[in-house]
Structure 1
Amino acid sequence: MASVRTPDPNPGWLSDIALEETRSRVPILYVEGVPVRVDALGQVEQVGVLLRGSPTTGAMTRTLISGRVMHGESVRGALMRNLEKDLGPTAFPQLPPTITPFTVAEYFPLPGVAPLHDPRQHAVALAYVVPVTGDCEPRQDALELTWLTPAEAADPEVLADLEGGRGTLLKQALSHLGCLP
């Protein structure tokens, strides 16, 4: 007699064991977002960085919006889901009209291979700058969102404080936007 199974409510997620096994064998696809506030002319006035506890070290660290793309999920859908997860439902992100990222970031599990490092896995991230117009209330593991001017965000101390080498990614975003001092 065949058993009847309850369908998985989140079929795009892997179990913790399956995710660990997969991470040890193949690169995982992520999306990353740099939230910005722009003026009426589209000039960047502020750049947002998150404060959260690092899942790998347990230390408090600055970071960007980041999350996996689930099986069967569009890149656009993953970006929106992760923006809402980290910034709250009233951030009102303005997703870009195309899914072309400003850069493709590659994280390696061994430090020193590349500027970006994630000890859990080899990961590839599509990185986007996303204007937000609403109220941002960090949720889940994000404790705080700090808004910085582009000059403050480009400060070497701020860039060095971002986890996993994400300061490099933030600097690329600022360059892409023409905001480097």
Structure 2
Amino acid sequence: MQEHTNAGDQWIPEQDYRFICARVPIVCVDLLPVIGATGRFGLITRDTYDGGRGLNLVGGRVLLDESLLDAVERHVEVTLGTAVAVALPSLTMVGVYQYYREARPGELHDPRKNAVSVTYAGIIQGDAHAYGEALAFHTFELESPPELSAFGFGQGKVVYEALARWRRLHVS
């Protein structure tokens, strides 16, 4: 697998990463990118698991000694491009979510790892394009998210909660 996360010397080879994921939860960040003052938000299409694809938030693993906000900025840059910036003061914490390796009713699921994600919604600025793990970048009206079945890893639940929180705090 090619390194696409700007992890530098903290990139973990696939075999080692699988070993680690089989033993400990992985800390991640995710972002629901709200596009400036457009009334729209974005999601990426990416591979999920077992040959699947779905809509997803922007995010991934937090590196050792990396702050959560630095991780958000890094994942936005490698997923949406260097022309995109996160307006850090706009970040709103949505919640902390756990993705289980074993499927559980009503829970988020990622058979590759047990991940704990600190999830935000926030404004991005700039011309976003799909890079790295993103196969495409799609935008949607804040009031018209995609159907739950369109999401990978069960992230529709997270996106709906993020949109509700964002609208409650930022949309009049």
Relative to the length of structure 2, the TM-score reads 0.85
Q: Which residue of 1 aligns with 2:8?
A: 10
CA offset digits 1:1-56 (Å, max 9, x no partner):
xxxxxxxx9332323222111111111000001101242xxxx70010111222x1
Counterpart CA distance in 2 for 1:122 and 1:52 is 19
Q: Give 2:29's aligned residue.
A: 31
> 2:157 aligned with 1:164, yes or no?
no
* 1:21-170 aligned within 5 A: 21-39=19-37, 45-54=39-48, 56-96=49-89, 101-153=93-145, 155=146, 157=147, 159-170=148-159
Say which structure is richer in strand.
Answer: 2
Cα gap change, 1:151 to 1:97, in 2 (>3 Å): closer
Query: When the two structures are superposed, what TM-score results if normalisation uses the length of structure 1?
Result: 0.81
Q: What's the Cα RMSD here? A: 2.1
Which range moved further: 112-121 or 20-29? 112-121
Assess if the C-alpha contact under 8 Å between 1:104 and 1:127 holds in 2.
Answer: yes
Cα distance 1:96–1:25, how it changes in 2: closer, same or farther (>3 A)?
farther
Contact 1:107/1:117 (<8 A) preserved: yes
Structure 1 counterpart SS, 2:39:
strand
Equivalent residue letter for 2:46: R
The CA deviation string for residues 96-121 of structure 1, in whole angstroms up to 9 with x for no partner, is 377x7220011001112552110011
- Residue aligned with 1:169, SS: helix
Corresponding pairs, count: 163
| CA distance in structure 2 between the aligned counterparts of 1:144 and 1:18, rounded to whole angstroms | 29
| Rounded Cα–Cα distance in structure 1 between residues aligned with 2:159 and 2:137 | 15
SS in 2 for 1:139: coil
Q: Does the aligned pair in 2 maintain the 1:107–1:114 contact within 8 Å? A: no
CA deviation map 1:114-149 (0-9, x unaligned)? 521100111100001121121001111212111100
Larger Rg: 1
Task: Give the gaps of 5 or more residues in structure 2.
Answer: 1-6
Q: Equivalents in 1 of 2:11, 2:85: separation in Å?
A: 26
Instruction: Report how far residue 69 of structure 1 moved.
Output: 0.5
Give, in whole Å, the separation in 1 of the partners of 2:105 and 2:21. Answer: 17
Matched residues in 1 for 2:90 and 2:134: separation?
A: 27
Structure 1 gap segments, 5+ residues each:
1-8
Stretches of 4+ aligned residues off by more than 6 angstroms = none
